[in-house]
Structure 1
Amino acid sequence: MTHSLDSLVIRHTHRIPLPKGVTGEGITAARSLDAALTSVGFKLSAELLQRLSGLSEATVVRTAEETLCAVSEMVGDHVRHNAYFIDFPANVPGTEEFWTSCVTKALGDERTRENVLTQLAHGALNLLSLPAYGRYQHTYEEMLAAQDALIASAGDRVTVLHPGGDLEEEVTDLYLALAGSTTPLGEEHLRDLRTLAGQCARGPQPESIPVRENRAVVNEARLAVGAGLLLDTVVDVLRLACALSDGDVTLHQPTRFRALSRPVRRTLLAGLDAVIAANPAKLADVHAYREEFKRLGERLHPHEYPRWPHAADVFAVARREKEARTFDSRVEELLDAYDVLGAVRLLKSAPGKLFRALDLLLRIAAGQEERDAVVAAAVEVAPQVSGRVVLSVREHFQNRERETDAPRIFVNRRGRGWVSPDFRPPVPASDRDRLIAALDAEIRRRLPAPGRLLVDPDVFDVALPLSGRATAGGLGVLPRGSLSAVDGDQLRFFVYWKESENRTDYDLSALLLHTDYSTDSWLSYTSLTAVGGKHSGDVTEAPDGASEFINLSLDRVRSACIVPQVNIFSGENFEEVEESFFGFMLRDGEQKGRPFEPRTVRMKSDLRGAGRVALPLVFRREDDGRWRAKWLHLYLKGISSANRVEENQVSVSKVVRAVVERDYLTVRYLIDLMTAGCSTVDLWDGGPSPDEPVTYIGLERPEGLHPDSRVITPENLRDLIPG
């Protein structure tokens, strides 16, 4: 889906770009925009309303069109959400009652009676063959007419939009923030960076681009305008080639390389030649992507360019015509010989690899002397390791403190999750504690002095975004492992999908678990009513888009966990459909309203992962009886067709347990380091903002902050991660 530059800015920053030098009487149009935004759960800040009121009416109208389109898509209100049962959540029949009614209607239709009788005679009936099953029996307009209006509630979501600079300023600032991110971006943000890079290639550039995928996207834009490329490894060139072929710059998925023009081929070969000429040892990097380099060589024709012999060496290594011993093989040789001290000496020349090997080194060390050497080496090279890796290792050892039977959770770059038993022997407690203290000291050294720190308490339990792939695009989405409060009587999940070419059936379900993660019950198309919950009915095709809902009365749920999930029963996967997203709403008991009411949406998350079962988050009842959400952003492999909640309950419960019981580094951790011994934290209670500049960290930007304040919200939480 394409987005205008205005909508990109609004979606990423919750700011509306405003033109300069255009004045007029736009107050009426501005107030109309504010009223329209209220219906989808947004509003203009007082400053933004004032700024818009001073612009011309035509300018405000154009701004309103862009803004309403952007926020409607953010919350999922850009599509029509129909429900199979027209009165949902009222008058939802029991499953057997509903199926019986579908059979009765089919038997009463001369066109289908014979087929149904034949199936029944054989003892099995295909529900999809019944005309009344799986297809909307009413129009969207008829559904709206059957529903009462939503009653406004003080608990409805209100997302405040703030004024921005002009479009060029906002686009440049957003480009610099994304390109210079210290953590990998998610798929949506990486796609947006590509759009922004095309606009900003000739303008200001970030001081550094530490994430390789970001560098590939930026290099593609720089190549188009004839600017110099940012290359210091052969893999940088490979990623750029993938970008030029609209492939996967993360190199996780194979790319079909396109035929490249002669000038582009010369540029790529010259880049490879320069990298190897500067450091021949980097030929060893080819081994990790041998097949990709072989296919790229077929497009670049290096034999036609003898002036770049080092580039030819790259492809000779890929074809195994030239030897280039890898660094990892030398490390493995030492580890196989249990030469820990030798491995440590070698790994000190590659600090990131040393950090990733710390757990193994501490476990296989022969005695305290060797473990002391491992810890000392980690402390020595820590300043050379990226902040993201330091924090990841810190979180890893934090979870090695626990002596439990909790399974290990593994998540790949595409969100696919799986678990395995943890058979690793423990790391000696004293060495682990020394290492944790050293990592804390290193992170504290890198964190800037926050000045006056103003914090929304609701942000304390938000997990640090150590990878953009630990989250998803959308509204109100938090990184994997984050905790957030759930306040409301009625919890309603929704899924929307629109198939591209093939008939596609997604099934929204909810698995309810006991405290030990065993199954209590579930809601799905096979169990329409249970435990105070209602399912909106099974929709089995979506040529024009389809929605399913589950409504739960939380005070009637006695289970410990509620796990919403989206199962692909048949058809296109999450990366093939035209569009798919999940979300949840919270309502007071008497609000009523349509099945989908944008003002009540607390979270809307794109579904774009590898797997046939999506697990966006889990809801847990705490000891005090209150509910909290823990964010998962996981996909299970599932089976090729007919995925159902009944069949995957064991695998789902294992993954949920692994994430729920994992101890994630949170914003609270970084705030504690920032303020250790020198600063205090002011907790924001929703009152007036301070008159002086502050560093504000919270879920949403308050109104009235000093213009020189530094503001950190989930949209730019990655800025907290030190380089």
Structure 2
Amino acid sequence: MVHALEPLVVRHTHRLPAPCGAAGQGGVAARQFDAALMSVGFKLSAELLGHLSALSEGTVVDTAVRTLDTVRAMVGDHVRHNAYFIDFPAHVPDTYAFWQQCVADAVDRGVAVAGLSDGVVDLLTLPAYGTYQHSYAELLAAHGELLAAAGDRLTVLHLGGAPDDEITALYLALAGSAAPLGDGGLPDLEVLAGHCVHGPQPEAIPVRENRAVVNRARVEAGADPLLDTVTDVLRLACGLSDGDVTLVQPTRFRSPSRRVRRVLLAGLDAVVAANPAKLADVSAHREAFKRLGERLHAHEYAARWPHAADVFAVARGEKRARSFDSRVEELLAADDVLGAARLLESAPGKLFRCLDRLLRACATDAERDAVAGVAARLAPEVSGRVLLSVREHFHNRARGSGARRVFVNRLGRAWATDESRSPLPEAVRARLVAALDAETSRRLPVPGHLLIDPDVLDVALPLSGRATAPGFGVLPRGSLSPVDGELLRFFVYWKQTSDTTDFDLSALMLNSAYETVSWLSYTALTEVEGEHSGDITEAPDGASEFINLRLGAVRGTYIVPQVNIFSGEGFEEVEESFFGFMLREGDQRGRPFEPRTVRMKSQLRGPGRVALPLAFIRGEDGRWRAKWLHVYLKGTPSANRVEGNRVSVAALVRGFVERDHLTVRHLTGLMADRGDVTTLWDGRTVPQGPVTYIGLERPDGLHPDSCVITPENLGDLVPE
């Protein structure tokens, strides 16, 4: 079981749990393991290499096999990436010449081409179009070996502790996370919670979805769940039915066992008995509670658990429970802003989330000052995540008219609109920003010697796990990261579940005014900027598409890669799908997909029919940087193409580019004021003593007592 959980530790922490086994002479096998890792862009740290070298050869080989499988899957090398054009990116034909060749091929084969006499041909009816015309082995034979380059990625794997200790530490970190984990983290937490249910538990589980996952494991192990709201019980019921604990998607409840029925009803009864006001929470999920009550046969247990019966009576509308939000709305409707603020003092988190609205509703400067004073006084009672979210919000409120607002829901669906809210007085806005910064600074630890990798400064703070897609090298939405290399290559891979499915990779180039300059797609295989690898229209065994770009030739300021669903299954329905990008130097060759050149690979698992993983921005200095988006557009049910969504994509990209996200730079600036010394890391020299290191990757050779913050645990930087 420990070996089965080892990949979770490697993926989340880039640490390999210390392999256990007999002592021996494993040096040769360890060096071979290191060489194999380097071929896919990974490397053993000096400490890990030394540890493996002292073990038996058999132990090292077993460890190598498991670990190689894990890291290859991390970068997308666990599948075969074929390309339609075998010589890609060389010899990619002109689009119309290629289509004409496909028609000529069909005629040569004796295939009747419908519409040919009218000059309108359906490409999907041509036998040479959309399916691989060569095997993967033939593709490999057509490409030379990838030449080594100084810019090739090397991700270091560090030595971890004992396997059980590493698994427990990861469980505690995920379960106790201050930010929601999102689709990537919740399934892993579920696996770990079942394994760690009888071991150490986090002191607190602030995120309700995380608590629901842990509660499911506790109930299945015969332990009592941790419940303090009626919604906690509903989430637990969803989890026990393999449903959505985030409550975004409806759950089809199963008929529970008698023991589970007792646990759920007793839990509801205890919560309401302790605080009857919590009945007001039922109305937010009325239909779900009604369906749950039917499965629990709540009416049969009304005498034993009367407070639980009240929950379902509220859900059915037989009993009224006035919600807190309705009381706030009533006061605001009566223009009693100060009364609403006083009521919200008992719920500081809610007050901060509607602070902008309260300030806009104020009729006088005196009222605004009073509301701002309440917020400043309650700041110590609000979570760090909410403090920073509100801080980012008020910073962007200074942009004024003409700004674009971007909305992203819990599922990643995004849309943009013009700013329509009335402006806030600058004095009030500045006062709130200063109060929020002061409270954040108070909560931050004293870092001692603060060592910072400059490349991490523009990484957005992970205020929600839903703002980061599962994958490798992925940064939170809004982050900026440098792009160094001559060639930028996108890739998408998908494998359909049952229906014929056609994903289309495209790249849209925009100028500084967000106007279209050009694009690459199956309808534009070649442009000045680069080449498209060819259209694949079905993926029963998996399929890949690539776009190769010469950054020096790109016309415009923005590059926006996108994945359009032309037909078939959605991103959440296919068996597997992911997007990524590679960076190469101009003289490097190799296959279309080379794992050690992969800089980022993220899963495509969202609503909508158009995925926008990130955009690339050319700065005034001519250097390119990636802006991380992780969003989806609704699109159309079929035939989504880059030509059809240029306007909506440009509007969304503009909104993201012009918005200032709160980044690591903000917190390190506050920490630097409290630290002994702050140093920007030069990428080579590692201090002798303990440091607080914040960077994209952990350097080899740091003092063992150092506090290390990398993207894998960036949430630890957010104060509680």
TM-score by length of 1: 0.98
User: What residue is the counterpart of 1:699 in the other structure?
Assistant: 696
**Counterparts of residues 282-681 of structure 1 (less than 5 Å):** 282-305=278-301, 306-676=303-673, 678-681=675-678
Q: Is the 8 A contact 1:498 1:546 kept in 2?
A: yes
Amino acid at match of 1:712: I
Cα 1:513–1:234, aligned 2, differ >3 Å: closer, same or farther?
same
Residue in structure 2 matched with residue 53 of structure 1 by the alignment: 53
Contact 2:449/2:675, CA 8 A, preserved across alignment: no
Distance of aligned partners of 1:3 and 1:642 in 2 relative to their CA distance in 1, 3 Å threshold: farther
Q: Residue type of the partner of 2:271? A: V
1:136 aligned to 109, 132, 149, which one?
A: 132
Corresponding residue for residue 26 of structure 2: 26
Aligned partner of residue 615 in structure 2, secondary structure: strand
Rounded Cα–Cα distance in structure 1 between residues aligned with 2:14 and 2:195: 20
Give the Å deviation of 1:688: 3.3
Aligned residues: 718
Pairing 1:236–2:232 present: yes
Deviation by residue 1:123-177 (Cα, 9 ceiling, x = unmatched):
4211000000000000000011011111110110000000011210100000000
> Is the contact made by 2:492 and 2:546 (CA closer than 8 Å) also made in structure 1?
yes
Q: Give the secondary structure class of the aligned counterpart of 1:401.
A: helix
> What letter is aligned with 1:381?
L
Give the corresponding residue for 1:165.
161
Q: Report the equivalent of 1:85.
A: 85
- Report whether the alignment pairs 1:124 with 2:120: yes
Structure 2 letter corresponding to 1:720: L
What does residue 713 of structure 2 align with?
716
More displaced stretch, 122-131 vs 133-142: 122-131
- C-alpha deviation, 1:569, in angstroms: 0.3
| Alpha-carbon distance in 1 for matches of 2:285, 2:457 | 41
The aligned amino acid for 2:253 is: F
Q: Say which is worse superposed, 177-186 or 376-385, in terms of deviation.
A: 376-385
Offset at residue 55 of structure 1 (A): 1.2
Return the offset for 1:84: 0.1
Match of 2:147 among 147, 151, 167: 151
Within-5 A mapping of 1:203-242: 203-242=199-238
Distance 1:290 1:340 in 2: 29
Partner SS state of residue 645, structure 2 = helix
- Partner-residue secondary structure (3-state), 1:71: helix
Distance of 1:710 and 1:223 partners within structure 2:
35
Partners of 2:419 and 2:246 lie apart in 1 by 28
1:618 deviation in Å?
Answer: 0.5
For residues 346 and 157 of structure 2, the distance between their equivalents in structure 1, rounded to whole angstroms, comes to 48
- CA offset at residue 394 of structure 1? 0.4
- CA 1:209/1:558 → structure 2, altered by over 3 Å: closer, same or farther? same
* Residue in 1 that maps onto 2:96: 96
Q: State the 1:122 CA deviation.
A: 4.3
Work out the CA distance in 2 between the residues paired with 1:234 and 1:288: 11
Q: Are the equivalent residues in 1 in contact too, given 2:557–2:617 (CA < 8 A)?
A: yes
How far does residue 679 in structure 1 lie from its aligned partner after superposition? 3.6
Correspondence for 2:263:
267
For residues 246 and 71 of structure 2, the distance between their equivalents in structure 1, rounded to whole angstroms, comes to 29
Runs of 4+ in 1 over 4 A off after TM superposition: none
How far off its partner does 1:474 sit?
A: 1.0
- Residue 708 of structure 1 deviates from its aligned partner by 1.3
Question: Cα distance, 1:558 vs. partner?
Answer: 1.8
Shift of 1:19: 3.4
Cα distance in 1, alignment partners of residues 21 and 135 from structure 2? 47
Deviations 1:62-99 (A, max 9, x none): 11111101100000000000000000000000000000
Q: Given the superposition, is the C-alpha separation of residues 564 and 61 from structure 1 closer, same or farther in structure 2, using an over 3 Å criterion? A: same
Secondary structure of 1:462's counterpart equals coil
Contact 2:504 2:565 in 1 (8 A): yes
**Structure-1 separation of matches of 2:44 and 2:525:** 40
Q: After superposition, what is the alpha-carbon deviation per residue over 1:364-407, rounded to whole angstroms, capped at 9, x for unaligned?
A: 11112111111111112111111111100000000001124121
Mark the CA change 1:376 to 1:293 in structure 2 (over 3 Å): closer, same or farther: same
Q: Could you tell me which amino acid in structure 2 is paired with residue 506 of structure 1?
A: F
Partner of 1:199: 195
Q: List per-residue Cα deviations over 1:679-706 (Å, max 9, x = no partner).
A: 4311111223222111110000000111
Kept in 1: contact 2:95–2:523 (CA 8 A) = yes
Would you say the 8 A contact 1:392–1:466 is kept in 2?
Answer: yes
| In 1, Cα distance between equivalents of 2:442 and 2:255 | 48
Code of the residue aligned with 2:408 in structure 1: it is: V
* Residue 235 of structure 1: how far off its partner (Å): 0.3
**Corresponding letter in the other structure for 1:5:** L
The letter for the 2-side match of 1:100 is Q
- In the alignment, is the contact (CA less than 8 A) between 1:688 and 1:704 conserved in 2? no
* Distance (Å, rounded) in 2 between the aligned partners of 1:294 and 1:582: 40
1: distance between equivalents of 2:482 and 2:454?
A: 11
In the alignment, what sits opposite 2:250? 254
Change (3 A) 1:516 1:108: same
Measured after TM superposition, the shift of residue 296 of structure 1 is 0.6
Gap change, CA 1:534 and 1:3, over 3 Å in 2:
farther
Query: Percent same amino acid among aligned pairs?
Result: 70
Counterparts of 1:387 and 1:166, CA distance in 2: 32
* SS of equivalent to 1:72: helix
Distance in 2 (CA, whole Å) between partners of 1:622 and 1:687 is 27
- SS at structure 2 position matched to 1:192: helix
Task: Tell me, yes or no, if the aligned pair for 1:406 and 1:657 is still in contact at 8 Å.
Answer: no
My pick for the range that moved more, 644-653 or 688-697, is 688-697
Instruction: Show the counterpart of 1:73.
Output: 73
RMSD: 1.1
Unaligned runs of 5+ in 1: none
Q: Which residue of 2 aligns with 1:37?
A: 37
- AA in 2 matched with 1:212: R
Deviation of the 1:304 alpha carbon = 1.9
Q: Structure 2 unaligned segments of length 5 or more: list them.
A: none
**8 Å contact 2:401–2:419 — kept in the other structure?**
no
Per the normalisation by structure 2, the TM-score is 0.99
1:216 CA drift (Å): 0.2
In 1, Cα distance between equivalents of 2:304 and 2:444: 47
**Cα distance in structure 2, aligned partners of 1:547 and 1:69:** 20
Residue 15 (structure 2) pairs with residue 12 (structure 1): no
Q: Is the 8 A contact 2:19 2:63 kept in 1?
A: no
